[in-house]
Amino acid sequence: MTYQLYYWPTIQGRGEFVRLALEEAGAAYEDVGRRGDGADFGAVAEVLERAGVAEVPFAPPVLEADGRLISQTANILLYLGRRHGLAPSDEAGELWANQLQLCVTDWVVEIHDTHHPLGPSLYYEEQTAEAARRAAVFRQDRLPKWLGYFEQVLAANPAGDAYLVGDALSHVDLSVFQVVAGLRYAFPRAMVALEPDYPRVVALHDRVAARPAIAAYLDSSRRIPFTEEGIFRHYPALDGEP
């Protein structure tokens, strides 16, 4: 089966969490908005208005699989985790992985809101003062709290600190890798200062990056670069640069 992934074609965005899981699984998928290396926004928008669909998705990413349209990033990863062994097969382990993935969802919203504290309908340039205040609080309070939480989860894992859930890679490890990579891009100053306090999270990032399927993906043209259009944006003022 070939999956269809519907996501905005020019950014990593939330689609990247799904791409990483598909790539690690070695699953066949079509990145619909990027067919033929193009940028077909219309093909992505279409899935939100498709005729005859009762369970209509609110926003991308959307995965078409088994004749269904599955949306909400964490929900897509729940589905892929089950199908491709990217989550424990027992209920308790699957719920724990899902719980952590929903934490990633919350973390990503906070990261996005550093540059869009008043919401996505205004440009960053229309909310720079609010963004500077929001980002300062994020860097000082929320970023250490989130990194500390995942450090604690790794330290407390009874199966060891190589993975967040049990003794095998899960979709949560892939997502935390992506968040750390994005934070390094968006907040390089803050991350250089903070990273020594979270060695397990940093090691997890490096471990995921070195996985053969992920390393090959990161090196390929399928990996869209970080830009100031995505979730992780490097605005020096938001990273505390004078």
Which positions lie near ligand GSH, rule CB under 6 A? Answer: 13-14, 59-61, 72-73, 105
Nearest approach, Cβ of residue 175 and ligand GSH (Å): 11
CB 96 within 8 A of CB 53: no
Give, rounded to a whole angstrom, the gap between the first and last alpha carbons of the chain.
52
Nearest approach, Cβ of residue 237 and ligand GSH (Å): 23
Q: Mention every residue, 6+ apart, whose C-beta is less than 8 A from residue 156.
A: none
Q: Which is nearer to ligand GSH, 14 or 34 (CB)?
A: 14
Question: What b/e string do you get for 97-109 counting C-beta neighbours within 10 Å, with b at 16 or more?
Answer: bbebbbbbbebbe
Handedness of CA 146, 151, 155, 161 (dihedral sign): positive
The closest of 9, 11, 52 to 32, measured between CA atoms, is 9
Q: Which is nearer to ligand GSH, 166 or 230 (CB)?
A: 230
Bridge partners (DSSP) of residue 5 are 31, 63
Nearest approach, Cβ of residue 171 and ligand GSH (Å): 13
Q: Which is nearer to ligand GSH, 73 or 178 (CB)?
A: 73
Q: Which is nearer to ligand GSH, 74 or 208 (CB)?
A: 74
Nearest approach, Cβ of residue 4 and ligand GSH (Å): 16
Nearest approach, Cβ of residue 7 and ligand GSH (Å): 8
Q: Which is nearer to ligand GSH, 82 or 207 (CB)?
A: 82
Which DSSP category does 142 fall into?
I
